[in-house]
């Protein structure tokens, strides 16, 4: 057995400081133990060496400051920023590339087929999907209108609070600005709930639609009601005209219904549709125009002489 291993077993070899070189065999053979000063000096040297190595590593990892070009830029010296451009992954170019053979798709299966794409979210591997296993009931009405309901009791409450002036025509603009209704989408329908509390006479109201009880309650007090058709654009122009003025646009003209159902509704005098009222007004004008000619025809012959 060598002398070094023997001294190591006898625990006579001193522990070397971190970062320092181990004691030589000659020092061990001489039997001289290191002093406290020599161990401290060795530790200081090791700490200084580690500090210098740390500073060097930090200097290398800190990114360099931006360097400005010292020459004119042209197509010959332009290049992308380091680390911003990457090479495209080229698959299926041979086994030697490391991405040949199965070309990163694995071994067989649905995801390994070409042109298959990703299955739909409702696909369940071929079994009957959940959307087909359960029955369907009901339907969605494509002709449904989202009309804001307005009861006569609420309208009377707004008039009593002074938020609406009954002496002026009440339209959907006044109802919206006074916050009597909210969120107009397709119009406003006046309902007869609370008709016994409605007591405002000679009121003039124009809304999209109205129930028969509401029409009867208003006309019983000497008021008038007109059902006027409005689409989304004209409703926005009626309730929020400032949105057009802010964009420098003119207010659009009034719209007329185009569906057969709406034409029949607004042409019915029972519903107080504006088309029926206009037709009656035109008929009255024609009758007034024909009255003088009819009076001339009814005069006796001697009176004409």
Q: What is the pLDDT of residue 174?
A: 94
Written as one string, the DSSP assignment of 86-153 is ------SS-GGGSS-TTTTS-SSSGGGSTT--PPPTT--TTSPPHHHHS-------TT---PEEEEHH
The full set of domain ranges for the chain reads 3-45, 148-285
**In the predicted model, is pLDDT for residue 26 greater than 80?**
no
- Euclidean distance between the first and final Cα of the chain, in Å? 166
The predicted model scores a pTM of: 0.55
Tokens 């002496």, residue?
167
Pick the CATH number of 148-285 from 3.40.50, 3.10.28, 1.10.3470, 3.100.10: 3.100.10
Span 160-169, mean pLDDT? 94
pLDDT digits over 187-230, tens only? 999 999 999 999 999 999 999 999 999 999 999 999 999 999 99
- For all residues of the chain together, what is the average pLDDT? 83
Span 149-159, mean pLDDT? 95
Q: What is the pLDDT of residue 171?
A: 94
At residue 110, φ and ψ (nearest 5 deg) are -65, -35
Q: What is the pLDDT of residue 44?
A: 81
Gyration radius from the chain CA atoms: 48
pLDDT digits over 254-293, tens only? 999 999 999 999 999 999 999 999 999 888 888 877 776 6
Per-residue confidence at 140, pLDDT binned at 50, 70, 90? Answer: very high
Per-residue confidence at 54, pLDDT binned at 50, 70, 90? Answer: confident
Per-residue confidence at 12, pLDDT binned at 50, 70, 90? Answer: very low
Written as one string, the DSSP assignment of 37-84 is HHHHHHHHHHHHHHHHHHHHHHHHHSPPPPPPPSS---TTT--PPTTT
């Amino acid at each position: 057995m060598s002398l070094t291993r023997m001294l190591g077993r006898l625990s006579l070899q001193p522990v070397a400081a971190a970062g320092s070189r181990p004691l030589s065999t000659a020092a061990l053979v001489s039997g001289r133990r290191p002093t406290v000063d020599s161990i401290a000096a060795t530790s200081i040297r090791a700490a200084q060496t580690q500090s210098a190595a740390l500073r060097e590593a930090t200097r290398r990892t800190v990114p360099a400051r931006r360097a400005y070009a010292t020459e004119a830029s042209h197509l010959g010296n332009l290049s992308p920023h380091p680390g911003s451009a990457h090479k495209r992954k080229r698959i299926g170019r041979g086994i030697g590339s490391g991405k040949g053979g199965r070309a990163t798709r694995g071994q067989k299966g649905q995801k390994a087929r070409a042109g298959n794409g990703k299955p739909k979210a409702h696909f369940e591997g071929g079994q009957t999907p959940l959307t087909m296993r359960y029955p369907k009931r009901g339907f969605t009405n494509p002709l449904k209108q989202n009309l804001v309901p307005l009861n006569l009791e609420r309208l009377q409450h707004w008039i009593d609070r002074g938020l609406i002036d009954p002496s002026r025509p009440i339209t959907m603009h006044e109802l919206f600005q006074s916050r009597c209704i909210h969120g107009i989408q397709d119009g406003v329908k006046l309902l007869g709930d609370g008709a016994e509390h409605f007591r405002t006479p000679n009121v003039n109201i124009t809304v999209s639609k109205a129930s028969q009880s509401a029409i009867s309650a208003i006309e019983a007090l000497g008021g008038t009601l007109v059902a006027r058709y409005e689409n989304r654009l004209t409703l926005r122009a009626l309730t929020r005209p400032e949105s057009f003025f802010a964009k420098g646009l003119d207010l659009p003209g009034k719209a007329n219904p185009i569906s057969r159902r709406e034409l029949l509704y607004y042409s019915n005098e029972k519903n107080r549709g504006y088309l029926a009222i206009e037709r009656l007004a035109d008929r009255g004008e024609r009758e007034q125009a024909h009255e003088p000619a009819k009076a001339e025809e009814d005069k006796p012959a001697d009176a004409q002489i």
